[in-house]
Structure 1
Amino acid sequence: MVAQGFTVDLNKPLVFQVGHLGEDYEEWVHQPIVCKESPRFFENDLLEFLTLNTWWVIPLVWLPVVCWFVKSSVNMGISSNQLAATIAAGIFIWTLLEYTLHRFLFHIKTKTYWGNTIHYLLHGCHHKHPMDGYRLVFPPAATAILLVPFWNLIKLLTPTLYAPALLGGGLLGYVMYDCTHYYLHHGKPLQGVSSKMKRYHMNHHFRIQDKGFGITSTFWDRVFGTLPPKSGKKLR
């Protein structure tokens, strides 16, 4: 595709090309290429390897961490009812964070070289290649880095007894989100809630990219008025 006199060569590593699209990046990145092949991101093999991740790594890495945080609160004497409520609160807070990040960060509009490049790495690549199964879930190393400031904030704002369970609940919500997101792209639900959610999310990718930011539910889209309109061409 040609944009502002620049041609993106899909046969070459993409990351350091997309910044040159300038103001045309927004249009380019929302014209999806539907194939299961993973595009090359970097010339360097190590950098390229670090961008690849399979979905099952997420529960494998993070569910034991969730259990450790929950057990920490149990060891401090939290009751069963308090524990259940705190974990549920953590999951609920995650759903709001999921929506907020997707709407305001992942869909931020950029036009500078580095703005386009960073956005492509963060989320643009997913919209350009929505069926790339190796870049759909978040790399654990990046999640671990982001977890540190969240943990410090929770410890600052939450009583010691509840803080580990609250983070454990939020982290469990994240695991549910990433696994759900992968399933919505690569699973084949025939009916029921999962089928409706898949149709809802595919609508976000292929019809109205500035609506439908919820992944695990439509709750916050309803609250903040970002539900996609029901009219228009239905997606299969």
Structure 2
Amino acid sequence: MANSTTTATPSQGGTENLPFWKRSHYLDRMTLRQLVFAYFQHYTIIAYLGLTVLCVLAFALYPTTALRGAASFVVALVVYPLVWHLLHQYVLHGQWMYKIKPLAATWKRIHYDHHQDPNHLEVLFGALHTTVPTIFLATAPIGYAIGGIGGAAAAFAGGLLTTCYYEFMHCIQHLAFKPKWKWVQHMKQRHVEHHYFDEDGNFGITNYFWDRLLGTYYQKKDRPKRSATVFNLGYDETVAAQWPFVKDLSGGIASGHPRRRVQGKEGFDPNASKNTIA
């Protein structure tokens, strides 16, 4: 999935008979039940849960004490939100990956496509070739220092399960429904602001502790106007003229609100070889 391709939207005919993940899915048009059905079918979630089972087996083969195992697992839960925040702010929102041709497709897949259309479910889930090594490097070494191989397995399992939680809550934040719980409402509102008002802040997905500590937390009322780069992360036609790698992969630059990108409306580029909302 390194290179994103144009997929049929729900408005295009003939998609109903395709296999589930050959169709396009948009969270603003799905129910919670449909989301749960899709979530547990997605290959990344299946992979995370499968790796967690392998971690349990590794822990059984190379056990450590219960205290060290628990400490390794809990430390992973604490470290993960900080690692995610820093990666989100400085890598995914950094202005450097699209300038390096071998990394342009990765940046497009793991974050540019998501901001171009935040409700497009296929590009919301992280790509395994980037997420699994990151989770392992962020958790396993700490677990190994605490409890050897068993500790590393426990910590890696903690990172994998936290990722499953993050991915589901991330989906919830883009689903067209109002959560009953206040804490989920708060979480969702901050993330919606990140996607539709100003992308330079609210980098946490389920935890905004580090945003508050590092000065990137905000509410819409705190900022005077909408960011002009909230949907393209600063990768516009001017930037693409110098670094065209992502534009070439996308078949043009889509701008403006993703639901208004139709001919004659905001963000339609008649000169592009193809117009996508990926």
Query: For this structure pair, what is the TM-score category when the shorter chain's length is used for normalisation?
Result: 0.5 to 0.7
**Contact 1:55–1:137 (Cα < 8 Å) also in 2:** no
Q: Could you say which residue in structure 1 is the equivalent of 2:208? A: 218
Structure 1, 117-126 or 166-175: larger mean CA deviation = 117-126
**Contact 1:95–1:173 (Cα < 8 Å) also in 2:** no
**Contact 2:55–2:156 (Cα < 8 Å) also in 1:** yes
For residues 159-170 of structure 1, the aligned pairs below 5 Å read 159-170=148-159
Give unmatched runs, 5+ long, in structure 2: 12-20, 26-37, 227-278
Amino acid at match of 2:184: S
Could you tell me the TM-score, scaled by structure 1's length? 0.66
Q: Could you say which residue in structure 2 is the equivalent of 1:206? A: 196
- Residue identity (%): 23
Amino acid at match of 1:123: H
**Contact 1:154–1:167 (Cα < 8 Å) also in 2:** no
**Contact 2:79–2:139 (Cα < 8 Å) also in 1:** no
Whole-angstrom distance in 2 between the partners of 1:223 and 1:203: 19
Q: Could you say which residue in structure 2 is the equivalent of 1:231? A: 222
* Residue of 74, 84, 87 corresponding to 1:101: 87
**Contact 2:143–2:155 (Cα < 8 Å) also in 1:** no
Shift of the alpha carbon at 1:62? 1.3
Q: Could you say which residue in structure 1 is the equivalent of 2:66? A: 80
Provide runs of 4+ in structure 1 moved above 2 Å.
54-61, 70-85, 110-122, 139-161, 229-235
Give unmatched runs, 5+ long, in structure 1: 1-13, 17-35, 39-47
Whole-angstrom distance in 2 between the partners of 1:79 and 1:204: 42
User: Which structure exhibits the higher relative contact order, with contacts defined as CA atoms closer than 8 Å and separated by 6 or more residues?
Assistant: 1
Does residue 1:181 correspond to 2:167, yes or no?
A: no
C-alpha RMSD of matched pairs (Å): 3.8
Amino acid at match of 2:192: M
Whole-angstrom distance in 2 between the partners of 1:221 and 1:66: 29
Q: Could you say which residue in structure 1 is the equivalent of 2:54? A: 68
Amino acid at match of 1:91: L
* Alpha-carbon displacement from aligned partner over 1:116-135 (angstroms, at most 9, x marks no partner): 65432220111110110111
Whole-angstrom distance in 2 between the partners of 1:205 and 1:113: 25
Whole-angstrom distance in 1 between the partners of 2:185 and 2:160: 25
- From the superposition, tell whether residues 55 and 15 of structure 1 become closer, same or farther in structure 2 (CA, over 3 Å): same
Amino acid at match of 1:135: V
Amino acid at match of 1:126: H
Amino acid at match of 2:222: S
For residues 44-63 of structure 1, the aligned pairs below 5 Å read 55-56=39-40, 57=42, 58-63=44-49
**Contact 1:37–1:132 (Cα < 8 Å) also in 2:** no
* Residue of 120, 143, 149 corresponding to 2:108: 120
**Contact 1:204–1:212 (Cα < 8 Å) also in 2:** yes
**Contact 1:91–1:171 (Cα < 8 Å) also in 2:** no
Could you tell me the TM-score, scaled by structure 2's length? 0.57
Shift of the alpha carbon at 1:144? 4.4
Amino acid at match of 1:55: Y
- From the superposition, tell whether residues 37 and 227 of structure 1 become closer, same or farther in structure 2 (CA, over 3 Å): farther
Whole-angstrom distance in 1 between the partners of 2:106 and 2:131: 16
**Contact 2:4–2:108 (Cα < 8 Å) also in 1:** yes
Residue 162 of structure 1 aligns to a residue whose secondary structure is: helix
